[in-house]
């Protein structure tokens, strides 16, 4: 495994630019408590704490720059030093953080491989602390809670369990147009633009991964909806086809359930979740977003969603009506100026 390296700290102003909007405040009201989950936790005060640590582009292909920030409270004594340990380096190796003069912030920027997920703790005054801003946490094998981050293109499941991912995969397949004859024709067409290592045109794996990541970070507040509703869906499907695993029920049974979720679902416990259509709308949004947003977010694997649109939609001259490559950075796109 490639270990993270420390990026030379040369730009305090850039770190302030990352921090001030979301971290500078006097008001202690809850701003993002994840449905009460962080009530009483200082992390609930930050409205977009999921932006931390900051994951940014790096000039080394295959890496991200990750800026980890320790913010002391305004009334808190200034610590002599702040350090960091994490799975991106040997755990015994304390990485010192740099203090931005006349500020509340300490930071270090690391060059971390893409597609990785890490645990970390800050060391302040001899004691170890979770990140005071980032709401992502993870337990280790001994039950200790660490803070967590993941870099771009990470595929390791983080919040959705195996059975949840399987059910979700059915939703994705049902919503997206990649199981249609048109898509299959695209797949079989001569000069198929898909890379050889992409598994058919099925976006399910990529989009489910995208949803897993968005629920781990930006939309963590929606995780509970997935937990309840996917459980209810499993229950309903088991009742209807008791001899089949829920993710393998017939297409007809799944289609029927999908239709019912816009209104009444027989067998659905409305005391647990009153409005199945709300969940369905959320899944639809996440599915589309995952299939057609930048591949670095975990969906749209190898840009197959964009490639499908590029191939299908043609302008009057026969060229593509979605030449996404011209605007996007290399090597994914062909733009010579924009580096991503």
Partner 1 sequence: MAEEYDIVIIGSGAGGAPIASELAALQNRSLRILVLEKGPKLRTQEDNPAGGFSDFKRDEMLNAGPEKRINQDGVGNTNRPFYSSHIEPDLNDEPHLWSGHDEQNPRVTVEGYTAQVVGGGTQLYGAVSLRFPERDFMLASADRPAGLPNDPYADPDVDIRDWPIGYDDLLPYYEKAETLVGINGTVDDVQTGAPAQEKKFPKNCYQAPLSPNPISQFALNGMKSIGAQVYRTPLAVITEAHAPSGRPAPGWVKTGYVNRYGDPLGYKSNTWVSLLRPAMRTHPGRIDLRANCTVTHLEASGKRISKVHYRDASGFPKSVGGKIVVVACSAIESVRLLMLSAEEDPTGLGKLLRHEEDGTPLGRYFLTHCFGGAEVSIPDGRRFDKTQSLDSDYATDWTSRFDFLRDNNLWAGAAIYNNTSDQSLPVTLARTDGANDLDTWWQGFDNDPAKTGEGMLGWMDADFGTRLSVSFMANQVPWRKNRIRLSDVRDKWNRKSAWIVKDWHPHDGHVMNTLARVCEDILLAGIPGTMREGTGIPWNRGVIGEGSVYGQGVRIANHILGGARFGTDRATSVLDPDCRVWDIDNLYVTDGCFMPTSGGANPTLTIQANSFRVADILKQVV
Q: Which is nearer to partner 1, 180 or 244 (CB)?
A: 180
Where does this chain touch partner 1 (CB under 8 A) — which range of 77-85, 123-131, 137-145, 175-183?
A: 175-183
Beta bridge partners of 121: 85
**Nearest one of 120, 146, 134 to 48, comparing CA atoms:** 134
Q: Cα–Cα distance between 20 and 141 in angstroms, integer?
A: 35
CB atoms within 10 A of CB 275: 12
In the complex, the smallest distance separating the C-beta of residue 315 from partner 1, rounded to whole angstroms, is 5
Q: Which of positions 319-338 make contact with partner 1 (CB under 8 A)?
A: 319-324, 326-329, 335-338
Q: Which of positions 127-166 make contact with partner 1 (CB under 8 A)?
A: none
Token readout for 108 is 């270090």
Q: Cα–Cα distance between 117 and 54 in angstroms, integer?
A: 14
Q: Which is nearer to partner 1, 120 or 292 (CB)?
A: 292
Dihedral angle at the C-alpha atoms of 123, 64, 145, 15, nearest 10 degrees?
Answer: 50
Q: Cα–Cα distance between 214 and 67 in angstroms, integer?
A: 20
Residues 202-241 vs partner 1: string with x where CB under 8 A? ------------x---xx-xx-------------------
Q: Which is nearer to partner 1, 96 or 259 (CB)?
A: 259
Q: Taking the CA atoms of the chain, what radius of gyration do you get in angstroms?
A: 23
Q: Cα–Cα distance between 191 and 268 in angstroms, integer?
A: 47
Q: Cα–Cα distance between 105 and 69 in angstroms, integer?
A: 7
Report if residue 3 touches partner 1, rule: CB under 8 A: no
Q: Max Cα separation, the chain?
A: 68
Q: Which is nearer to partner 1, 190 or 319 (CB)?
A: 319
Report if residue 293 touches partner 1, rule: CB under 8 A: yes
How far is Cα of residue 37 from the mean position of the Cα atoms in its chain?
19
How many residues contact partner 1, by CB under 8 A? Answer: 80
In the complex, the smallest distance separating the C-beta of residue 45 from partner 1, rounded to whole angstroms, is 9
Q: Which is nearer to partner 1, 48 or 200 (CB)?
A: 48
Q: Please provide the DSSP assignment of 266-328 as one string.
A: TT--TTT-S-HHHHHHHHHHHHHHHHHS-GGGS-SGGGHHHHHHHHH-B-TTSSBS--GGGTS
- The correct pick among 63, 105, 146, 149 for binding partner 1 (CB under 8 A) is 105
In the complex, the smallest distance separating the C-beta of residue 49 from partner 1, rounded to whole angstroms, is 11
In the complex, the smallest distance separating the C-beta of residue 242 from partner 1, rounded to whole angstroms, is 27
Q: Which of positions 44-103 make contact with partner 1 (CB under 8 A)?
A: 47-48, 56-59, 65, 74, 102-103
In the complex, the smallest distance separating the C-beta of residue 7 from partner 1, rounded to whole angstroms, is 9
Q: Which of positions 178-207 make contact with partner 1 (CB under 8 A)?
A: 179-180, 182-183
In the complex, the smallest distance separating the C-beta of residue 276 from partner 1, rounded to whole angstroms, is 12
Q: Which residue has the tokens 């899944």?
A: 283
Q: Which is nearer to partner 1, 78 or 196 (CB)?
A: 78
In the complex, the smallest distance separating the C-beta of residue 69 from partner 1, rounded to whole angstroms, is 12
- The correct pick among 36, 125, 250, 262 for binding partner 1 (CB under 8 A) is 262
- The correct pick among 63, 106, 149, 306 for binding partner 1 (CB under 8 A) is 306
Q: Cα–Cα distance between 290 and 299 in angstroms, integer?
A: 5
In the complex, the smallest distance separating the C-beta of residue 75 from partner 1, rounded to whole angstroms, is 11
- The correct pick among 98, 235, 258, 273 for binding partner 1 (CB under 8 A) is 258
Q: Cα–Cα distance between 321 and 317 in angstroms, integer?
A: 10
**Cα–Cα separations (whole angstroms), residue 132 to 23, 42, 116, 135, 148:** 10, 7, 22, 8, 12
In the complex, the smallest distance separating the C-beta of residue 231 from partner 1, rounded to whole angstroms, is 22
Q: Cα–Cα distance between 12 and 109 in angstroms, integer?
A: 11
């Amino acid at each position: 495994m490639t270990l993270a390296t420390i990026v030379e700290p040369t730009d305090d102003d850039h770190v302030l630019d990352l921090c001030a909007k979301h971290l500078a405040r006097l008001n202690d009201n809850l701003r993002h408590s994840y449905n009460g989950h962080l009530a009483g936790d200082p992390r609930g005060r930050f409205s977009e704490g999921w932006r931390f640590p900051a994951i940014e582009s790096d000039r080394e292909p295959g890496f991200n720059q990750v800026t980890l920030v320790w913010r002391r409270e305004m009334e808190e004594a200034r610590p002599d030093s702040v350090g960091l340990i994490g799975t991106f380096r040997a755990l015994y190796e304390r990485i010192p953080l740099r203090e931005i003069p006349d500020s509340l912030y300490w930071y270090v920027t690391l060059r971390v491989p893409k597609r990785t997920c890490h645990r970390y703790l800050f060391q302040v005054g001899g004691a170890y602390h979770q990140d005071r801003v980032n709401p992502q946490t993870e337990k280790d094998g001994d039950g200790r809670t660490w803070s967590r981050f993941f870099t771009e293109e990470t595929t390791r499941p983080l919040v959705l369990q195996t059975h949840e991912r399987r059910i979700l995969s059915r939703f994705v397949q049902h919503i997206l147009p990649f199981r249609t004859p048109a898509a299959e024709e695209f797949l079989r067409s001569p000069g198929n633009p898909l890379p050889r290592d992409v598994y058919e045109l099925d976006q399910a794996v990529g989009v489910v991964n995208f949803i897993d990541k968005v629920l781990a970070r930006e939309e963590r507040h929606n995780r509970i909806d997935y937990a309840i509703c996917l459980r209810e869906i499993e229950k309903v499907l088991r009742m209807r086809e008791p001899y089949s695993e829920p993710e393998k029920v017939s297409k007809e049974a799944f289609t029927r359930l999908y239709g019912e979720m816009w209104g009444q679902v027989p067998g659905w416990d409305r005391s647990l979740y009153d409005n199945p259509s709300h969940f369905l709308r959320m899944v639809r949004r996440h599915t589309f977003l995952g299939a057609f947003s930048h591949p670095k977010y975990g969906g749209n694997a190898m840009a197959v969603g964009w490639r499908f649109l590029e191939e299908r939609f043609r302008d009057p001259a026969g060229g593509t009506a979605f030449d996404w490559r011209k605007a996007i950075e290399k090597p994914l796109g062909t733009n010579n100026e924009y580096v991503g």
